[in-house]
Amino acid sequence: MWTRVGRTVSVLTITVLMVVAAAPLNVAADRVCAAAEGHLEAGSLDRAKKLYESVKPADDERNCAVKGLQLVAAARHAAAELVTDGEQLIRSGHLNRAERMFRVALKVDAANAGAVAGIARVADLESRPLPTAASNWDRFYGDWVLPVGRLVLFSTIGLLVLGAIAGLSSMLWVKVGSVAWPTGARRTAKGVGCALLVSAAIMTPLFAMFNPFTPTWMQCWIAALVIFVIGLVAGFLLWWGTRQSRFLDWLALLVSLGVLVVAAIVILMVPIAYETRLMAAHIALALIGVVLTSAAFGQNLRLQVEVQQPDGNVNAAATDYLLARMKGLGTETPKGLERADSALATTPLSKISNEELSVLPAGNVVGALSRLFFALRPGLTWRARVTLVDDNRVATAVSRNGRHAASAVFSRMELGLPVDTDQDRARAQMLTGAAAFVLVHLSEVHQELKEDLCGARKWKSVALLVIAKSKSLLENEDRSTRRVDLLSRATDKDPGNVLARFEYLWAGYANIPHEETNYASFARTLDTEYERAGGLQEKLDEEEGWVPLKIRVLYSRTTQWINAYEAAREKGTHVDVGVAAYLQNAKKSADELQRLCTVSWNRKELQRKAEEMRPFAENLQLCIDALNGVNLDNVPEGHSHKGANPSPRLTYDHACLHMFLASQLPRRKRKQQRENALDDLQFALVTERDRKDAAADPCFRELRSDERFRQLVHDQPPQEFLDLPAFVGRRVKLEEVGVTTVGEVIRHTRTTQLQEQLAAHLEVSAAIVQQMRDVALLAQVHEDLSDPRMLHVLLSAGITSREALCEAARRDESELLHLVETRASEEHLTSLAGVKKPQLWLTVVKRKRCPWGR
């Protein structure tokens, strides 16, 4: 510090000598300059300046005066630096050194007010008693807390004002239909803009309070370079962001940024005061920050929803429901694996995060204050207002940055919804339609939402899809039929809605009775839809919104091809090239499913679902290998999944694997695999639907005659002829000799000798074989009685032969019909043709004479 003092004095002395040496021999000017030099050496800078300025231009071009004025300016600057050093010494507690520094500054500039104030402050501090904790705190508060607090306060106020301006001006740069920039471009623009706003808010009070530097040409050039670089960054962001939207939508933003950048650089180059140039640059940077921040916030995906009654009052309950719908549109779907479904439940059609959704508080005062706050808040881009006109009509309006973007008025009749007497459910359906309208409109602007819509472009289709798949939005009565109808109309309104197409296929397939199921046909339908041009097969892994549906379809395809293969074997179809292709198709789907389940996905929810589906995919591959006879030598005797914690649905699939292994292993190893399958089913069969599916599942055809299996499925009505009680426990041996149908039973028992041969093969008495023949003959009375379920009804009613049927009809026809109807009702089989129209087979019976055939 004292080195600076010596250097300052030396510079002044050398400069004076140079001025004297260089002065021309002009007597008048010499006298004036000599007098001024005396005042300069005495520290009277003001007097010296006046004398130098009094030299006339004709006096040898004021050579000595010009040099003198420069010397005066240098002396003032040196004195100011000395005062600054003295103030720092006071803060550090070196009062004596600080006083000497102030006195040196007075010698250089006797009129320096800062030096006089510094000496007075030193004197005041020296007159005080020794420093205490309180005095030290006062000094710290005065020197640091107070100025920094003021800096933070005014910086915060400035930042809030700039942020409010940015929020209010979003409508100027972002049109209501402008497609939002990619996420990276928006985040970069927001980061640059916010950095400029923070810098402007801090530098304004900082420069006014502390004056950290003296403006020079160097600062002007640096400011021009910074503005030029920011202009290039803004231009790049515009190019990046407008590649997927119309360029004209962003013309106003481009012109505004260009004008600001060019105007700021031009002002910095104009020969005016440096302070004025830097002030213009500071304002330009602040405005550029406002524009960039405004444009970025104006493209946010933040949405505020509000549901109001016809009188304008906010309905808090309806608002919360709409908010939940916007968050998870499409999540309320069956969680279990149905015959055509998958373990992976439908992911939300909307991926709007919690942070991007908000509501207006209820209450007039609070609501009004909230509206004022949200109007000034930057980044709250979208607002959706839904008005419940009544239980059947809804009006929806969507605005973007305070400007109207879209609106719709619709009713239940327009959506084609069935009449619903439950007012709460009817209102929920309307709110679901409003949520679909808002979501589809947002997807037109925010392209990242399109993936989760799976090709849907019309909101009515989305609304019908969600309503059809939501258990709480449909009446329990005839729900399955209504679901198919709604999904059909959802597909009609928007054929490009891929999710609706598959849901329609699955819903229709679920309504087909088990005995009429054609697994191969449905698998081919799924393949056709999956491989359709522009469909799921062509979607890349980067389009993660499509992946959940791809996993569901691949799982469904694989299981359907496996079931088709098993159904063909069950019917005794020879495994030719066509049937073997079923397993090839299943293998192809299973491999792709396994690949999707092992990919590391960016979305956490998708990653979790893929991990949940991985055991299902692995089990399917093991099932296919078992049916192909691969790795049968390494099959463990116990459960192949021992040590895992499978869900009931996965355990069901494990049971299928054990049955496939049992069908391929030697007879001595089959029993253990069947026991493993039954153990798994003991845990897996939870609901009545599970038990019905297991009873009809072709995977368990070899268990249908097993007593334990029949107990697990609660004695479900037999689905095949050999499932009837007369054949229980003898199915395998009957299949060995080719006796699988009614005709084969009659053919192999038409004579006494054949009956004895069959009885010996089955290791039963001839009476048992005669019972089998009686059941087969009973099935041939009429085509309606050939249904195994109808035979089950008759057998449970005590009618075990056609002779017994004929006798019952002759004795009391009405009693027979009442008995059949009662047993059918108990077995939940009233929909059978033989039960609905008994007169058809009863007429045939009455035409015959009893005993039968006489």
pLDDT, tens digit (0-9, with 9 covering 90-100), for 670-727: 888 888 888 888 888 878 788 888 888 888 888 877 778 877 887 667 777 887 877 7
- Closest by CA to 200, choosing from 292, 269, 299, 296, is 292
Q: Report pLDDT for 573.
A: 54
Tell me the per-residue pLDDT of 741-754, one tens digit each, with 9 for 90 and over.
888 888 888 888 88
156 in the same domain as 123 = no
CA distances, 316 to each of 13, 308, 322, 361, 367 (Å)? 83, 8, 10, 8, 12
Bigger pLDDT: 583 or 209?
583
293 in the same domain as 183 = yes
Count CA within 13 A, CB hemisphere, residue 95.
12
Question: Distance between CA 807 and CA 850 in Å, rounded?
Answer: 7
Q: Report pLDDT for 191.
A: 93
Beta strand segments in 45-146, E = none
- What type of residue is 763? E
Report residue 26's pLDDT band, with 50, 70 and 90 as the boundaries: low
**Residue labelled with tokens 């004795």:** 811
Task: Report percent pLDDT > 90 for the chain.
Answer: 24
Question: Distance between CA 40 and CA 62 in Å, rounded?
Answer: 17
Tell me the per-residue pLDDT of 472-481, one tens digit each, with 9 for 90 and over.
888 776 778 8
Please say which residue of 297, 330, 349 terminates a domain. 297
Residue 743 lies in a domain: no
Residue 527 lies in a domain: yes
Average pLDDT of span 383-398:
91
CA distances, 521 to each of 105, 176, 218, 528, 581 (Å)? 101, 48, 80, 11, 13
Q: Report pLDDT for 489.
A: 93
Angle in degrees, 0-180, between the axes of helices 752-762 and 766-779, rounded to the nearest 10: 110
Please, what is the Cα angle at 755 between 750 and 756, to 5 degrees?
150
Question: Distance between CA 74 and CA 78 in Å, rounded?
Answer: 6
Q: Report pLDDT for 601.
A: 92
Handedness of CA 667, 672, 675, 676 (dihedral sign): negative
Q: Report pLDDT for 62.
A: 54
Question: Distance between CA 210 and CA 150 in Å, rounded?
Answer: 12
The values of phi and psi at residue 406, to 5°, are -165, 160
Q: Report pLDDT for 361.
A: 52
Q: Are 742 and 786 in contact (CB under 8 A)?
A: yes
Q: Report pLDDT for 768.
A: 83
Count CA within 13 A, CB hemisphere, residue 682.
7
The DSSP symbol for 254 reads H
- Token pair belonging to 541: 């892994």
Q: Report pLDDT for 344.
A: 38
The values of phi and psi at residue 399, to 5°, are -125, 155
- Token pair belonging to 721: 């002829």
CA distances, 821 to each of 233, 811, 826, 829, 838 (Å)? 82, 17, 9, 9, 9
619 in the same domain as 539 = yes
Q: Report pLDDT for 72.
A: 85
CA distances, 344 to each of 105, 338, 347, 378 (Å)? 82, 11, 8, 38
- Token pair belonging to 233: 């960054």
Q: Report pLDDT for 437.
A: 93
Residue 658 lies in a domain: no
Q: Which helix (H) or strand (E) holds 851?
A: none
Spatial neighbors of 699 by CB under 8 A, at least 6 apart, are: 562, 563, 566, 655, 656, 659, 660
**SS3 of residue 339 by DSSP:** coil
Largest pairwise CA distance in the chain: 164
Report residue 816's pLDDT band, with 50, 70 and 90 as the boundaries: confident
197 in the same domain as 161 = yes
Question: Distance between CA 613 and CA 236 in Å, rounded?
Answer: 43
- What type of residue is 585? N
Tell me the per-residue pLDDT of 657-670, one tens digit each, with 9 for 90 and over.
988 888 888 877 78
* Strand 403-411 with 382-390, pairing: unpaired
Q: Report pLDDT for 11.
A: 45
Q: Report pLDDT for 227.
A: 93
Residue 830 lies in a domain: yes
pLDDT above 50 for 343: no
Question: Distance between CA 837 and CA 817 in Å, rounded?
Answer: 10
Residue 554 lies in a domain: yes
Average pLDDT of span 108-123:
87
Report residue 25's pLDDT band, with 50, 70 and 90 as the boundaries: very low
Please give the distance of CA 373 from its chain centroid, rounded to a whole number.
28
Report residue 535's pLDDT band, with 50, 70 and 90 as the boundaries: confident
262 in the same domain as 189 = yes
3-state helix, strand, coil in the chain (%, to 5): 70, 5, 25
- What type of residue is 490? A
Q: Report pLDDT for 339.
A: 36
Tell me the per-residue pLDDT of 27-46, one tens digit each, with 9 for 90 and over.
677 788 888 888 788 888 88
The DSSP symbol for 141 reads I
Q: Are 566 and 698 in contact (CB under 8 A)?
A: yes
Spatial neighbors of 286 by CB under 8 A, at least 6 apart, are: 162, 196, 197, 200
Residue 709 lies in a domain: no
Please give the distance of CA 269 from its chain centroid, rounded to a whole number.
50
Question: Distance between CA 58 and CA 54 in Å, rounded?
Answer: 12
Tell me the per-residue pLDDT of 255-267, one tens digit each, with 9 for 90 and over.
999 999 999 999 9
Task: Report percent pLDDT > 70 for the chain.
Answer: 85
Q: Where are the alpha helices (DSSP H) in 355-478?
A: 364-376, 412-415, 423-445, 450-453, 459-469
Residue 419 lies in a domain: no
180 in the same domain as 51 = no
26 in the same domain as 73 = yes
Least confident of 343-357, 400-414, 671-685: 343-357
pLDDT above 80 for 429: yes
- Closest by CA to 63, choosing from 21, 11, 9, is 21
174 in the same domain as 114 = no
- Token pair belonging to 120: 């007075």
Q: Are 566 and 517 in contact (CB under 8 A)?
A: no
623 in the same domain as 526 = yes
Question: Distance between CA 393 and CA 329 in Å, rounded?
Answer: 20
Please say which residue of 282, 297, 312 terminates a domain. 297
Average pLDDT of span 409-438:
88
Q: Are 754 and 748 in contact (CB under 8 A)?
A: yes
292 in the same domain as 159 = yes
Question: Distance between CA 249 and CA 363 in Å, rounded?
Answer: 38
pLDDT above 60 for 350: no
Cis geometry, peptide bond prior to residue 205 (ω within 30 degrees of 0) = no
- Closest by CA to 461, choosing from 308, 329, 327, is 329
203 in the same domain as 118 = no
pLDDT above 70 for 844: yes
Question: Distance between CA 431 and CA 392 in Å, rounded?
Answer: 10
Q: Are 282 and 203 in contact (CB under 8 A)?
A: yes
Average pLDDT of span 765-778:
85
**Residue labelled with tokens 């520094």:** 101
Least confident of 453-467, 629-643, 646-660: 629-643
What average pLDDT does the chain have?
82
Report the domain count for the chain.
Answer: 4
Q: Are 551 and 598 in contact (CB under 8 A)?
A: no
Please say which residue of 245, 270, 297 terminates a domain. 297
> Range of 12's domain?
2-128
Please give the distance of CA 478 from its chain centroid, rounded to a whole number.
33
pLDDT above 90 for 792: no
Report residue 286's pLDDT band, with 50, 70 and 90 as the boundaries: very high
Residue 240 lies in a domain: yes
259 in the same domain as 173 = yes
Average pLDDT of span 613-633:
87
Bigger pLDDT: 635 or 147?
147
Question: Distance between CA 432 and CA 586 in Å, rounded?
Answer: 37
Spatial neighbors of 375 by CB under 8 A, at least 6 apart, are: 167, 168, 402
Question: Distance between CA 287 and CA 257 in Å, rounded?
Answer: 9
**Residue labelled with tokens 């020879």:** 574
